[in-house]
Amino acid sequence: IKMCADLSRTQRNLLVCERSSFLDEKNRVSSQMEQLRFNYKVSVLLPEYDSAPSHLESILNSFSSFYLIKQLPLYELLDKDFLQSAVYQGSVYGLSFRTRIDEDNCVALMPNGKHHLVFSLDKDAFETLGLEGRPSRSNRTSSRYEVTVDLRDGSMAPGGRSYLRLRRALMSHLKLQMDFLISHHPGGGASLRPLLSRCDWLERRPEVSRRGLSRLVRPALRSCDPHDLLEWIGAVDAAVSLENSSSDFLSTLTCLEPEATVSRAMSMSACGLLLPQDLQHLVEELRCYLQQAQTDSWASVTVHGFTDSPVSWGDGGRDILTGGHDLYNLLMFPDHTYRLHLATGAQKTCPP
């Protein structure tokens, strides 16, 4: 009985499924892609290919570079020249790296005109920083706090009262330092130069990989249950066999309601700090590819967010107890129709 009671309190996950067409002017694909701002991995699955289409592979290889700054003092993000050359002029994507959202102090620099610094802090750091915040909404066993600083606010302009207070706190009291990933669109490294010139940094490009597949058993893509479909796509991406005999193992994973066998397929992926603009370009190229492919063809794109980002979909905070690895999958067909799946963690409401 106790086991049943414990299982009844198991946290849920949310999955939103949208079926529409790219030709519908009200389709929300681009706007939804922009809402997951800190992306770690994109995986593309294409049937009837035994090698990567050259133009699609070149798209992955052309993704924007990003920078790993080693032990960045966070007060550097408030540098006047950096704010003027990068933050105020475009979209800066910044995220603390190798920090754990349930144990460490984490920070994100929000893009797309938000100009927000978002902190996820333990109790000591929160009290030392001395800014207004709120307890983490998913916090039940430890004291963690969320703090959002609007860099557009008049008092946060260089020299303003709130600006000087925050910069003093980060320089003299809290002294947070952490590895930091940063990218900028448009402008790239040139816009970030005022910051990089004072730091120890490495330029990185997304790591691209490819893998050929053979005899891929697939379900009915247009009618399959969304949970089963994502499970199948995830198993293919993770190279999990779906053809195990039930007599071989205590527990097995099989393809539910198999519809067809794909003789060959290609799986491609890119990992790094991936910008939504590059992912949107990839989707547009895949749409063009489908127009030239066979009528029964399709393409699957799966994008994973950073697990330890302090922000989730949109401006939402991150679950810290049960994970909540945000992701979306876009399944596209030659007739311009698509299925969009949005997944988020246990404590969240539906993705925006």
Q: What is the mean pLDDT of residues 312-341?
A: 79
Same structural domain, 54 and 72:
no
Distance CA(259)–CA(224), nearest Å, equals 10
Q: Residue 60: is its pLDDT beyond 90?
A: yes
Query: Which amino acid is it at 293?
Result: A
Q: Please count the structural domains in the chain.
A: 2
Same structural domain, 143 and 103:
yes
Q: What is the mean pLDDT of residues 115-140?
A: 85
Same structural domain, 70 and 200:
yes
Q: What is the pLDDT of residues 257-276, one digit of tens each?
A: 666 788 889 999 999 999 99
Domain assignment present for residue 1? The answer is no
What are the tokens at 183? 């990218």
Which residue range is the domain that position 93 belongs to? 66-204
What was the pLDDT predicted at 348? 54
Other CB atoms closer than 10 Å to residue 291's CB: what's the count?
11
The last residue of one of the domains, among 151, 183, 204, is 204
The last residue of one of the domains, among 171, 204, 237, is 204
Same structural domain, 148 and 193:
yes
Q: What is the pLDDT of residues 210-222, one digit of tens each?
A: 999 888 888 888 8
What was the pLDDT predicted at 57? 87
What was the pLDDT predicted at 287? 93
What are the tokens at 229? 């479909």
Q: Residue 319: is its pLDDT beyond 80?
A: no
Identify the weakest region by mean pLDDT among 100-114, 158-172, 276-290: 100-114
Same structural domain, 170 and 231:
no
Domain assignment present for residue 352? The answer is no
The last residue of one of the domains, among 138, 172, 204, is 204
The percent of residues in the chain predicted with pLDDT above 90, rounded, is 49
- Please indicate whether residue 67 or residue 214 has the higher confidence score (pLDDT): 67
Q: Residue 7: is its pLDDT beyond 50?
A: no
Q: Residue 186: is its pLDDT beyond 60?
A: yes
Distance CA(352)–CA(232), nearest Å, equals 25
Same structural domain, 54 and 75:
no
What was the pLDDT predicted at 321? 52
